[in-house]
Chains A and B, each alone.
Chain A
Amino acid sequence: AQKVTQAQTEISVVEKEDVTLDCVYETRDTTYYLFWYKQPPSGELVFLIRRNSFDEQNEISGRYSWNFQKSTSSFNFTITASQVVDSAVYFCALSDGDGANNLFFGTGTRLTVIP
């Protein structure tokens, strides 16, 4: 069965600090997709990244970077030089690869960036 674990419930950092949000997943599928979403106070989910199971290259997008390691079933997300606007709840999610397109969410990590 698919499962996503975000062990960090809440994190607080001071502005300009780097912060890493952890995500560990479980799946029996060989083909799957991993996602990160940001949910600001407004509630709307903001798509950040999608990674398929065959692409283990790390990715960097501005201040955001992602570290995908199949050996440890982890897909961690790092924000460098954090800003107050980064304050939000971040969800890691897993989509199975059987075409049903089900999406399994972790419990989320609430990030607070203190000015």
Chain B
Amino acid sequence: GAVVSQHPSWVICKSGTSVKIECRSLDFQATTMFWYRQFPKQSLMLMATSNEGSKATYEQGVEKDKFLINHASLTLSTLTVTSAHPEDSSFYICRDKGELEYEQYFGPGTRLTVT
């Protein structure tokens, strides 16, 4: 099955700065990737669907100008949290779609702490 990596695995940044999180599909060309956010002791919430070569589709309530998604290649999608605030502190997880509709490959997650 596909392997998905994320970098960094954890990051601490100061309020007001921007942070980029990378999601790579290591052995599969993923035209579609999904970004999730998980607050402590809560479930995973879909933030956006990232499509290679086109604009991402954001879920209701997710600010597209704050969470910039770029999917410039078939193996890399990036999520940039701009002007981060402490309330953006969360666990961010990506997932690639896989070749078959039931395939689900998650990255290991990135823990973001904004101070």
Q: List A residues at the B interface (Cβ < 8 Å).
A: 33, 35, 42-45, 47, 50, 52, 91, 95, 97, 99, 101-103, 105-108, 110
Q: Contacts A43-B108, A44-B109, A99-B101 given; indicate if A107 touches B46 (C-beta within 8 A).
A: no
Pull 10 A–B residue pairs with CB atoms less than 8 Å apart, ordered by A: A43-B91, A44-B108, A101-B98, A101-B104, A102-B34, A102-B46, A103-B95, A105-B43, A106-B43, A107-B42
Q: Contacts A43-B109, A44-B109, A45-B93 given; indicate if A95 touches B46 (C-beta within 8 A).
A: no
Instruction: Give chain A residues whose Cβ lies under 8 Å from the Cβ of B46.
Output: 102-103
Q: How far is the CB of A59 from chain B (nearest CB, A)?
A: 15
Instruction: Give chain B residues whose Cβ lies under 8 Å from the Cβ of A99.
Output: 101
A35 to B44, CA, bound (A): 14
Instruction: Give chain A residues whose Cβ lies under 8 Å from the Cβ of B29.
Output: none
Interface membership of B67, Cβ < 8 A: no
Contact indicator B42/A101 (Cβ below 8 Å):
no
Contact indicator B43/A101 (Cβ below 8 Å):
no
Instruction: Give chain B residues whose Cβ lies under 8 Å from the Cβ of A102.
Output: 34, 46, 49
Interface membership of B64, Cβ < 8 A: no
Q: How far is the CB of A111 from chain B (nearest CB, A)?
A: 14
Contact indicator B106/A44 (Cβ below 8 Å):
yes
Instruction: Give chain A residues whose Cβ lies under 8 Å from the Cβ of B102.
Output: 33, 50, 52, 95
Instruction: Give chain A residues whose Cβ lies under 8 Å from the Cβ of B38.
Output: 43
A62 to B95, CA, bound (A): 27
Contact indicator A95/B106 (Cβ below 8 Å):
no
Which residue in chain B gives the minimum CB-CB distance to A96? B101
